[in-house]
Amino acid sequence: MRWLQKLLPAMLLALWLLSAPAPARAVEQAAAEPAVTSVAADPQMAEELRRIHREIAALRADLAQPGIKEVFSGLGYILGLFGVAAFVAARRKGP
């Protein structure tokens, strides 16, 4: 805790230093704004986006594939249904 207390003035100083040139940075950001939108039109970025879209589609297709859970629940259903059928048939026949 002690070192944190020592660090506090330094942090405050850093905060003041960072916040001081705020107007200048805002101007910079405003200048960078058009550059950000043009990145979307950038062919490299568009290629990247398309690749990500493809990956999402592949993932979705993978998720639609039946997993081990579905397989075992189906097997359970089959054995259970035939078990009930065998039970009913045995009851009907009598001992």
Partner 1 sequence: MHISDGVLPTSVAVGSFAASALLLAWSARRTRSEELPKVAVVSAAFFVASLIQVPFGPTSVHLLIPGLAGALLGSSAFLAIALGLLLQSFLFQFGGLTALGANALMMGLPALLCGLLFQTFKGKTRQRKMWVGGLAGGLGTALAALMLAALLASGGEDFLGVAKIALLAHIPVTLVEALVSAMTIGFLARVKPELLEPAYLKHPPVHHD
- Residues forming contacts to partner 1 in the complex (CB under 8 A) are 64, 66, 70-71, 73-75, 77-79, 81-83, 85-86, 89-90, 92-93
3-state helix, strand, coil in the chain (%, to 5): 90, 0, 10
> CB-wise, 23 or 67, nearer to partner 1?
67
Amino acid at 84: V
Residue (10 or 63) nearer to partner 1, CB = 63
* One-letter amino acid of 71: V
Report helix angle 22-41 to 43-64, nearest 10: 70
Given the complex with partner 1, which of 13 and 90 has the nearer CB atom? 90
Look at residues 88, 91, 17 and name the one whose alpha carbon lies nearest to residue 80: 88
Q: How far is the CB of 78 from partner 1 (least distance, A)?
A: 5
Query: To the nearest whole angstrom, how small is the minimum distance from the Cβ of residue 52 to partner 1?
Result: 23
